[in-house]
Amino acid sequence: MTLDLKHRALITGASSGIGKATALSFAKAGIDLVLVSRNQSRLDAVAVEARQIGVEVQVCPVDLAAIAQVKAEISRIAERHGPINILINSAGVGYTGGILETSLEDWQQVLTLNLTSVLQCIQAVLPGMHDRHSGTIVNVASIAAYQAFPNWGAYNVSKAGLLALSKTLAAEERSNGIRVVTVSPGAVNTALWDTDFVHADFDRSKMLTPETVAESILHTVLLPTQAVIEELTLMPSAGAL
């Protein structure tokens, strides 16, 4: 299926993992891209691949952890490179640690990037969607939004909060012609597992690939506008790891 009108998607976390795979999947579907991440060189590399496929690509380095600036920066990007018909909030960080040992600084950093920055991106893009009475917002959560894994407390809470944010937004924006989707994958084989914030010993060969998650995100976006997949849980066939 192809889109009836030319669409442009703003994708956060687009320099790697699910965000990068989604950008390339969207490019193959003919969707123009606005790529957001703090790593300009990696964004540039993704942009080269996407342009070779044949779509327009804008690269916009933004540090979503600098929360006081996020809404203003994304608003400027949406005004300069819009209209933004699709917003994909895929930026995020993993974190392992028991509740008792989690520092306030770590807790706030996880909630800031995984939840509060998403709110700021939504608030920046939503007014334009209101003007056009259309748009699709996809928030990438996690199976952890539904299932509390021990020693993943801050991450569990951030993703459960993201699910609640999505449900609330969907209820508020249906009458405005705006679709809100939450995609909650199980373990995905990304660089998240290589960071200093995550300590886990899982068989990564049994995880989902970023490309599989990206195809699922694309499917939700390509549905006719009269339909919406509000919640999609995508698990490895091996189950929760």
Residues in the chain: 241
Closest among 149, 33, 18 to 90, alpha carbons compared: 18
Catalytic residue among 155, 182, 210, 214: 155
Residues 35/58, Cβ–Cβ less than 8 Å: yes
> Under a CB-based contact definition with an 8 Å cutoff, are residues 83 and 31 in contact?
no
Is 155 among the catalytic positions?
yes
**Exposure class string for 179-189: b at 16+ Cβ within 10 A, else e:** bbbbbbbbbbb
Q: Which residues pair with 232 in a beta bridge?
A: 183
Distance CA 221, CA 29 (A): 11
Which of 142, 134, 201 has the alpha carbon at shortest distance from 173? Answer: 134
Q: How far is CA 133 from the centre of its chain?
A: 22
Q: Residue 140: beta bridge partners?
A: 183
Beta-bridge mates of residue 8:
32
DSSP result, 48-60: HHHHHHT--EEEE
Q: Which residues are catalytic?
A: 155
